[in-house]
Amino acid sequence: MIKIIIIDDEPLARMVISQYLQQHNDVEIVAECGDGFEGAKMIQQMRPDLIFLDIQMPKLTGFEMLEILDEMPNVIFTTAFDEFAIKAFEKNAIDYLLKPINKDRFEQALTKFRNNHHSNTPRETSAKVEAAREDETLERIVVKNGSQIKIIPVQQVIFLEAYDDYVKIHTKDGMFLKNKTMSSFEKQLDPKQFVRVHRSFIAKVDQLAKIEPMEKESYIATLLTGEKINISKSGYARLKQIIGL
């Protein structure tokens, strides 16, 4: 049996997908979820073969939910907005269905999944899933803090620090780890607010209190919190352009 989870905040949308699936005797709907938080929990518990995932949901979007999973499941996206199509396929989605979902189009998507289905092979780790495209400005960061999911508005970020395969996100509420690259954050954060000042640091401009020269054309910045971060020669040049030094 193909284990399926439906994740959509609209009961009618879940019902339509459920009715379409009931016509197939080799599938089992193991869960229906009304939001991304519940969806992430059920995916970890049930380990489905396929999920039908809405994109625009309150609290946690479909893309943000995928970002906190340990493994990327097989996904067929469902949404009323066609502008997400490119982004969906960047996530290696099986297919992308526009609401209201046409039955023939639904069957095509399910057939595509069957043709590509390898239940024992994880498709992609969450480390490769980004919540925003490079041409979009990141407004919040979703992290997994133990068994809890925390949403951090970028306004609360003080600075970011490289940490092996992770990034340390320093905020007023503490430090959080995110399995993502510094380059991704550099491309997605507002360049007027955040500057890559060093290969290991991205500074939030309004958190800088003082910049002092160090040896070999490098600098050190003191933040409003009292913390200090390194600034390279090239990072200092980028920073000067932003703050007008």
The token pair that represents 84 in the structure block: 């997400």
For residue 215, the model assigns a pLDDT of 81
- CB-based contacts of 151-154 (< 8 A; 24+ apart in sequence): 151/59, 151/60, 151/64, 152/176, 154/189, 154/190, 154/193, 154/194
pTM of the complete model? 0.78
Q: How far is CA 227 from the centre of its chain?
A: 28
For residue 118, the model assigns a pLDDT of 54
In the block, tokens 């780790």 appear at: 125
For residue 82, the model assigns a pLDDT of 80
Within 13 Å, how many C-alpha atoms sit on residue 218's CB side?
Answer: 11
Could you state, in chain order, the average pLDDT of each consecutive group of 10 residues for the chain (245 residues)?
Answer: 97 97 96 96 96 93 91 92 73 88 96 77 42 68 88 96 95 93 94 96 96 90 97 94 81
The token pair that represents 46 in the structure block: 């049930």
